Amino acid sequence: MQIDVARSFYTVDEMKEHIDNAAQFKFNMLHLHLTDDQGWRIAMDQPLVNPSGIKYTDLTEISGKTAMTYNDAGVLQGTELGHTGFYTKADYQEIVRYAGENGMAVVPEIDMPGHTTAALHAIPQLNSAGSAPKPLSGTDTAPAQGSGNVGGSTFDADNPATYEFTKEVLTQLAAMTPGPYLHVGGDESHVTPHDKYNKMITAFAGQVLEVDKKVIGWNEYSSAALPAGAVVQYWAGNRQTVANRVLANDSKVILSPAEKTYIPQKQESSQTAGGTWACGGPCTLKNHYEWDPANYLPGVGDDRVLGVETVQWGEWIRGMDQTESYQYPRALATAELGWSPQASRKYADFNQRVGALGGRMALEGLTHFKTTGINWTTASAAPETIPVLPDTSSLPEVSPLDLALPAGEFTGGAYLTLKNLPANEWLLVAVERVGKARGNANRFEWVRSNELGTAPLNVANGVTPGDYNVTVQGETGSLLGFATVAKSSPANGNAGN
């Protein structure tokens, strides 16, 4: 899942909400779009060796204060402007830690050589003969960009400071990113001469290798000479051309075609905000679901597909509620494609299961679009109470949630006995921390009722101590049971944060 924090910023707490939302649906990668024309969101330290005298701290001191400064045509009327801000290194590392705690690895992106106005606005040394846009009269940096226009910025391929700057930024970013990937962008660099573009992309990819990371870039970057194993992220363009480059370079691919995964696009024509360019109209939930990543790029089989990605951009949406309502339920379609082979997928079945999640998402406070044609459940019914047994080591740990929980954490806690269940029915067993709209231990799993029987269910294995709500729903969304249980840390265990 990609979150665009460059055009409109999300705080650390808001990013934790994004992670909570995504992790419960088994997303395992968080792609952070940290820089763009409208803002620079990651702090950089001053290096000891700095030949060009670049003031790296100005990236956030200056361009951490910029964002979308007016609302483009597709933005919901009355919506606030883009949010400004940036992450300190400690902030970023906290996001990385929290994502990892919830089974997600962070993939940071520094978009270049285009989408670079924020860097050009903050750093005079990057402004030279081949850079764009040009500084205004009497200034030494490009003006800030507050619109959603794309393609008008570029670094200068013949300026040595360009490569000094990018190497330093990638080196610092790699040092605080435990995951294996760095993303260098590479999309929509329309004003960069093609030969200059390829020169810079090849250099940036080499710099990523120098810091012991694997490089990812949007599919335009596949025109350059890339190292073996470079990852291509497809979003738009001639599929055959991209496929040929992927095969020739022995690359892997991430698939995020705009018409199948882009979040700011309208879901239905009734929505007043959002774009329609990707699908020539609304990009519906069904459209996001009905495609096969293993057969999308000609000749590129599933052995080359690293995964699929739902992509949120910030030109048209602001704040958590708006973002969530455009992400969900369409992100659930992308999640299912990522984990389920084509032969096992049926939209009618998916449609029913998504509807059954309506009450759960409402209880969490997760804003979601009520897609037409889905029988959405609500959270208004008063659930019955399931008997709660005391914490005791004599009870066996029988948990359908085990596969969804991180390994190596402590066990024990409260147990539930599930009784009088309907025969052979899919049940949704959900565990959510009390007191947090999206708790740091949201877990859910579909299980067959006949697989549970009357065995005790350990609902709090491997999660932070605290109070948890446990909800059991039937496959039609009916609430079969509800309980609040306490999870305490055992004497020899270590709790998570």
Annotated catalytic residue, options 101, 109, 164, 188: 188
| The pLDDT value given to residue 421 | 58
Angle at 64 between CA 68 and CA 255, to 5 degrees: 65
For 328-368, write each residue's pLDDT tens digit: 999 999 999 999 999 999 999 999 999 988 887 887 789 99
Residue 302: exposure state from Cβ atoms within 10 A (0-12, 13-18, ≥19): exposed
207 pLDDT above the threshold of 90: yes
| The pLDDT value given to residue 414 | 38
Average pLDDT, the chain: 83
For 62-81, write each residue's pLDDT tens digit: 999 999 987 766 676 567 78
- Say if domain 388-487 classifies as CATH 1.25.40: no
More confident residue, 322 or 143: 143
Name the least confident of 280-289, 391-400, 410-419.
391-400
- Say if domain 2-364 classifies as CATH 3.30.70.141: no
The answer to whether the beta carbons of residues 3 and 76 sit under 8 Å apart is no
Residue 383: exposure state from Cβ atoms within 10 A (0-12, 13-18, ≥19): middle
Q: Which stretch, 333-337, 398-402, 444-448, 455-459, has highest mean pLDDT?
A: 333-337
449 pLDDT above the threshold of 60: no
Task: Show the tokens assigned to 420.
Answer: 């009088």
Name the least confident of 24-38, 316-330, 476-490.
476-490
Task: Show the tokens assigned to 479.
Answer: 């609430």
From-to residues of CATH 3.20.20.80 in the chain: 2-364
* 470 band by pLDDT with thresholds 50, 70 and 90: low
* 280 band by pLDDT with thresholds 50, 70 and 90: very high
| The pLDDT value given to residue 488 | 40
Q: Which residues of 3-31 are buried (b: 16+ CB within 10 A; e: fewer)?
A: bbbbbbbbeeebbbbbbbbbbbbebbbbb
DSSP per residue over 257-312, as a string? -HHHHBTTB-SSTT-SSSB-TTTTS---HHHHHS--GGGSSTT--TTSEEEE--B-
As a whole number of Å, the end-to-end CA separation of the chain is: 23
| The pLDDT value given to residue 490 | 34
* Contacts for 97 with CB less than 8 Å, ≥ 6 apart: none
From-to residues of CATH 2.60.40 in the chain: 388-487
The answer to whether the beta carbons of residues 163 and 203 sit under 8 Å apart is yes
434 pLDDT above the threshold of 50: yes
423 pLDDT above the threshold of 50: yes
The answer to whether the beta carbons of residues 7 and 68 sit under 8 Å apart is yes
- Rounded to two decimals, the pTM is 0.81
Catalytic residue status for 397: no
Place of tokens 């290096």: 47
Once rounded to an integer, what is the mean pLDDT over residues 403-407?
30
* 272 band by pLDDT with thresholds 50, 70 and 90: confident
The answer to whether the beta carbons of residues 102 and 28 sit under 8 Å apart is no
| The pLDDT value given to residue 442 | 45
More confident residue, 152 or 272: 152
| The pLDDT value given to residue 446 | 52
